């Protein structure tokens, strides 16, 4: 099992839960197992531009992106960037 931690905004949309334990082999599978996957991915199944994902503190963009393998005991943290003007 992999733990996925959501930011407050997404946790609110997930019924108030911030942490989910999911059975997944990649970052993408872990994120798609979440009840808020539609808020993390856009209509073309790509990660939304303002969503950053970290595996045990490392940005997955510096790894294999969504194809990065995960294993039990690891933590995936989703961070939603704030934009505006």
Task: Confirm if 4 and 27 have CB atoms less than 8 A apart.
Answer: no
Is the torsion defined by CA of 36, 8, 49, 78 positive or negative?
negative
For the chain, domain boundaries: 2-80
What's the CATH fold of domain 2-80? Answer: Ubiquitin-like (UB roll) (3.10.20)
Q: Pick the closest to residue 77 from 14, 10, 25 (CA basis).
A: 10
pLDDT in tens, 16-33: 999 999 999 999 999 999
**What predicted TM-score, i.e. pTM, was given to this entire model?**
0.92
Q: Tokens 């082999």: give the residue.
A: 25
To which H or E segment does residue 32 belong?
helix 27-32
Mean pLDDT of the chain: 94
């Amino acid at each position: 099992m992999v733990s996925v931690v959501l930011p407050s905004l997404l946790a609110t949309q997930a019924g108030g839960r911030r942490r989910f334990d999911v059975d997944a082999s990649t970052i993408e599978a872990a994120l798609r197992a979440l009840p808020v996957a539609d808020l993390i991915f856009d209509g073309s199944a790509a990660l939304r531009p303002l969503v950053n994902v970290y595996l045990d503190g490392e940005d997955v963009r510096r790894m294999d992106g969504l194809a990065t393998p995960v294993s039990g005991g690891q933590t995936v943290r989703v961070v939603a960037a704030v934009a505006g003007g």
